[in-house]
A and B are shown apart, each in its own frame.
Chain A
Amino acid sequence: MATLTLPGRSAPTEPPRAPVRRRRGRGGKSASAGPVAYTLLTLSALVSIFPLYWTLVAGSHTNAEIAATPPPFLPDASLFENMGRALEEAPIGLAILNSVIVAGSITVGTVLFCTLAGFAFAKLRFRGRGLLLALVVGTMMVPTQLAVIPLFMMIAELQWVNHLQAVILPTLVSAFGVFFMRQYLVSALPDELLEAGRVDGASTFRVFRSIVLPAARPAMAVLAMLTFLTAWNEFFWPIIALTNSNPTVQVALAGLGSGYVPQRSVIMAGTLLGTVPVLVVFAVLGKQIVGGIMQGAVKG
């Protein structure tokens, strides 16, 4: 566990001794990393991955094996058996499909609506703008757990219990997202650019499409990724609004285990199954998502 505190050394108080003398490309930022930087990054990477790795190990052993001292450190073949049991006990296939739908819709909705609103708050003047923005930022601060009761009453009235829209709509927009987009666009979108578009006689929405959207893309990518991950892991509200007959991944995982006995290894194996899609997205699109953010940021 000592390793977990190591990234602390990467704090700016102790700057990496990167080759100072090497010629830099553009400014200071493109200097090549030295061995110290690589070491620190590799350590951080290991720490970042460890809990996921431990999920893999725990998912492939029995309760008793995991509790042994010292615990096993390598995964075992019974992982597949445990995964099989998880699949048998919970509709994980359906859950993954549902989660893709839910997290996907939430991501699309959040990015779209929050970009629209963020743009308006950043660049358009209209009466009550300050008040409305204050309202948005203010609600970011209210703990969400208590909204659940009134929310459920509404969902129940709409006959949406156990329907996916019950978990999509309440999280379709986020105050954080508006704030995030607004703060980004305030400085990333030069007013001259907007004015130029308007002088050309473009309608407001065309200005939005051809000027605002391209400028906002990097922030949209960040927001999309963060929203997707948050929505995928959301647990508190879905478990109230949905049941295991139409679950998201987290709801399905909560249904694992029967009898009085918690089947930790099956739950861990199931957790892994539920995380795999996110990892696949990362692996396949990682370069596009993360790389895109960064390139966009340079341009923006």
Chain B
Amino acid sequence: MSLSGKGKAASAALAVALLTGACGGSAASDDDAPYDPDAPVTLTVGLFGTFGFQEAGLYDEYMDLHPNVTIKETSVEKSADYYRALQTRLAAGSGLEDVQGIEIGFVSDIVQNHADAFADFGQAENADEVRETFYDWKYEQAMTEDGRVVGLGTDAGPQAMCFRRDLFEAAGLPTDREELGELWSDWEGYLDVGRRYQDSPTKPAGSAFVDSPASVFSAAVYQGELAYNDEDGNPAPESSDGVENAWEHASEAAAEDLTAGLSQFGDEWNSAFANGAFATIACPAWMLGYITSQVGEDGAGKWDIAPLPGQGGNWGGSWLGVPESSDDKEAAMALVEWLTAPEQQIKMFTREAHFPSSSEAAEDPEVADATSEYFSGAPIGQIFGESAENIRRTPIGRYDTQIQEAFTTALTNVATQGVSPDEAFEDAMASVEQVTGG
């Protein structure tokens, strides 16, 4: 449909609006006055439910520092809902907030397809200094090939392996986190511990070793040279060492019934936490809050944290970007830079338990020496810090979330429907083709 068609429809719509007495919206003024850092300004921040700046009091702090700034946050709980709205707004080229949250699941879509719609943090005067404070992989994931930086990192999701001390003890397994870390220095070792758990006559009835095959797959896949994409960020799961390795171990776990066969984030999965239905789960730093909330206070001291099999890995994390269409781009960029600076990332960790994506913040004693009482005194700062250090910079792509879903659902079928791993792999590849094919 041509522009004129749209215009005609729009004016007809306007006529209807007048006809029915609805009032039109206020027209935006976008005159290009030079940036005045002290002029009163209202910044709108559009996020989904994973940030917690408001809760950590960072907006108030910023507004105290900059009395001319008013910050208004709008938040959507589910990132899928948020992303749908964001995409619609990007497609229509309007309706964006001054700051937009960008999750890892869609940062690569933004980088590949909408980079021009976002202000370039790489052009800032102190860009190099800022870059220094972040983990390399984090900074680079929001960077286009020609060096445009669409956003700055907020939190990261370095992974470890959470385990139930009480269930391990009942099954006669070691509960020392370092000993376990050595036992499962790789995924084969992890599965061996799983088999011991499975065969134990004293383990609590009905409990499984790991929540889901996805726990193994999603953690292991990013430990390869490649995960779901080739070097250029195009989907190529069929030729990825990460996928091959992750599939091998995850399908083994599923076929041998080491898993509880749950779908992650489903209702049953949520309930399974409180019912002690599984003994381990691969846990990004943010999962600790999830576990605490699902298990409740009774779970204090039952859970513990050991290093992730293989090496470090990342799951989740976000960025903040500033749309070019923002009326107060400079002010918004200043806010983003402040919110993602090491000092604030430390506060986000101590107040909201979001692990820093800034290496400088992660090395700060407040973070590095942190322990968690709920998780049996585990040195979370150290464990997750080491995991973050070891994260590989695998190329990410716009379909990572969907491709991962294709694999993990196929694995669920291995675990619960008795589908053979080979057949499941074919199903997964068919789904992947459906996802990526035009």
How many residues does chain B have at the interface if contact means C-beta atoms less than 8 Å apart? 64
Note all chain B residues with C-beta closer than 8 A to A263.
Answer: 293
B14-22, B112-120, B414-422 - interface stretch: B14-22
Are A260 and B89 within 8 A (Cβ)? no
| A263–B293 CA distance with the chains assembled, in angstroms | 8
Assign chain A's interface to a size class: 35 or more
Nearest Cβ on chain A to B46's Cβ, whole angstroms: 7
What's the Cα separation between A68 and B296 when bound, in Å? Answer: 11
Q: Does B189 have its Cβ within 8 Å of any Cβ on chain A?
A: no
A63 touches B55 (CB 8 A): no
> In chain B, residues 1-50, which have Cβ atoms closer than 8 Å to a Cβ of chain A?
1, 6-7, 9-10, 13-14, 16-17, 20, 22-28, 44, 46, 49-50
Q: How many residue pairs bridge A and B at CB < 8 Å?
A: 148
Residue of A nearest to B9 (CB): A154
Closest to A246 in B: B74
CA distance A168 to B21 in the complex (A): 12
B-contact 0/1 string along A207-231, CB 8 Å cutoff: 0000000000000000000000000
Contacting residue for A154 out of B6, B93, B298, B354, CB 8 A: B6
B270 touches A264 (CB 8 A): yes
Question: Quick one: given A156-B95, A158-B14, A260-B287, are A244 and B27 in contact (CB under 8 Å)?
Answer: no
B289 beta carbon closer than 8 Å to chain A: yes
Q: Contact partner of B88 among A149, A163, A256, A261, CB < 8 A?
A: A149
How far does the alpha carbon of A244 sit from the alpha carbon of B272 in the complex, in Å?
Answer: 32
A64, CB-defined interface residue at 8 Å: yes
> Within residues 141 to 179 of chain A, which ones have a CB less than 8 A from any CB in chain B?
148-150, 152-163, 165, 168-169, 172
Q: Is A183 an interface residue (CB 8 A)?
A: no
Residues of B at the A interface (CB closer than 8 Å) are 1, 6-7, 9-10, 13-14, 16-17, 20, 22-28, 44, 46, 49-52, 54-55, 72-78, 81, 84-85, 88-89, 91-95, 97, 270-275, 286-287, 289-290, 292-296, 298-299, 316, 352-354
A residues within 8 Å of B by Cβ?
62-69, 105, 109, 148-150, 152-163, 165, 168-169, 172, 239-240, 243-245, 254-264, 267
Minimum-distance CB pairs A-B, first 3: A64-B296, A67-B274, A161-B95
Show 9 residue pairs from A and B whose CB-CB distance is below 8 angstroms, ordered by the A residue.
A67-B294, A154-B9, A154-B13, A156-B89, A168-B22, A172-B20, A257-B77, A260-B50, A263-B293
20 additional A-B pairs beyond A64-B295, A152-B89, beta carbons within 8 Å, are: A63-B270, A63-B293, A64-B273, A64-B296, A68-B275, A69-B271, A154-B9, A157-B6, A158-B25, A160-B25, A165-B24, A169-B16, A169-B22, A245-B44, A254-B77, A258-B54, A260-B287, A261-B292, A262-B77, A264-B270
